[in-house]
Amino acid sequence: MPKNCEVIVVGGGPAGIVAAIAARRQGLQAIVLDARVPPIDKPCGECILPKGVAALRTLGIPLPPESALSFRGFKFVDEKHSARADFAGATAFSVRRVKLHQLLVNHAIDAGVEFRWGARVTKIDEKLVTTAQENFSYRWLVGADGQNSQVRKWTGLDSSNVGKKRFGFCSHFQMKPWSDAVEVHWARGCQIFVTPMAEQEVGIAVLSSDPGMRLERALPTFPAIAEKLLGAPRTTSEAGDTTCLRTLPAVTRGRVALVGDASGTVDAVTGFGLSLSFQQGIALAGGMKLGDLSHYQSAHKQIAKVAVTMTRLMLLMDSSEWIRKRTIRMFQKTPALFSKMLAIHTEVTLLSSVGMADIADFGWKFLRT
């Protein structure tokens, strides 16, 4: 006989676990299925922006100092110019993915979420989710199974607008961070992210459209970073993944909903990934509680709006050296403008508050730079 469950979550990464915790807080029974077995790691930017931090706090999930490190803002750097902006009245954290995963699992177990690790889903239909060990009937099915989501394919929601793929590779180094901000170093065709991870650890990630681009190959283009890393031992081996802007016309169908990367992605250059998935999980739980996933569909679109816009702007900087150089130079000359853009990026300031006068002012300063 199948096991009856109100919410089945396929995918036990951060997006799926947070969706399950949010469902439990709405009084819904939740079971998470994943073919992997903890500890589970994944190459990613490892940043949680202020909206994501706030979402975790809403669920009663703090980020303890022994697991996470707060950072104050972002710094853009190119060959000649640099500009920095700090968060205004908000907090962001960096946290190693494997530590975040275990933290979320612990909170989920405390909340009453059940897990089935090593349970690969072999079949999904309108009534049952099947693994090699068990069958599960469900009221709600949540696809949190990543960029190549099988749940998305099964539901027919796979029709999407997919941008150009890029490739990210990251590793960690044992050394004292030289900044309390996440640094984005720009050059033609690639970026290097420097993330303070702990008192004696930094994360280094390279993003590029070239699938063969690795850190060792990229470093000669960034001599300042290469000099700082000289002699620093690696604490993790280099790992990589693809990234792109993918938007879906719909993230729900019937009793099925998608969250996290399964529901669409933004390029890793924005740092939005984890934060979006946490907000989505809370919105989805609210829709399931109401018995109407149309609420989640509307919320998902609103949650992703700023991230999609900022992704397109930052990919424009990647594709055009002329635009990128002018933008960073303009931010260096007018730091208040960069601070305002960061406030919009982190949604401290609403995108809807930007009027035609602001756009005209931005365009005028850009042309004069």
Indicate the domain borders of the chain.
Answer: 3-68+96-163+244-313, 166-243, 317-368
Report yes or no: 104 and 40 within 8 Å, Cβ to Cβ.
no
Banded model confidence at residue 361, pLDDT cuts 50, 70, 90: low
pLDDT at 73 over 60: yes
Length of the chain, please? Answer: 369
- Return the CATH number of the domain spanning residue range 166-243: 3.30.9.100
Banded model confidence at residue 162, pLDDT cuts 50, 70, 90: confident
Average confidence score pLDDT of the chain: 92
Banded model confidence at residue 355, pLDDT cuts 50, 70, 90: low
pLDDT of residue 354: 55
Single pTM value for the model: 0.93
Instruction: Supply φ then ψ for residue 245, to 5 degrees.
Output: -95, 115
Rounded Cα distance between 55 and 230, Å, is 38
Spell 73-94 as b/e; 16+ CB within 10 A means b.
bbbbbbeebebbbbbeebebbb
Q: What would the pLDDT profile of 293-343 be if each residue is shown by its tens digit? A: 999 999 999 999 999 988 999 999 999 999 999 999 999 998 988 898 888
pLDDT of residue 163: 82
Banded model confidence at residue 368, pLDDT cuts 50, 70, 90: low
Of 32-46, 144-158, 211-225, which gets the smallest average pLDDT? 32-46
CA distances from 168 to 20, 244, 259, 267, 271 (A): 28, 10, 22, 10, 12
pLDDT at 42 over 70: yes
Q: What would the pLDDT profile of 170-200 be if each residue is shown by its tens digit? A: 999 999 999 999 999 999 989 999 999 999 9
Question: What's the distance, CA 313 to chain centroid?
Answer: 17
Report yes or no: 226 and 220 within 8 Å, Cβ to Cβ.
yes
* Best CATH choice for the domain 3-68+96-163+244-313 from the list 3.20.20.370, 3.50.50.60, 3.30.70.520, 1.10.10.10: 3.50.50.60
CATH fold match for the domains 3-68+96-163+244-313 and 166-243: no
CA angle at 191 for the pair 187 and 197, rounded to the nearest 5°: 135
Residue type, 173: F
CA distances from 221 to 80, 187, 189, 217 (A): 13, 7, 11, 8
Report yes or no: 233 and 244 within 8 Å, Cβ to Cβ.
no
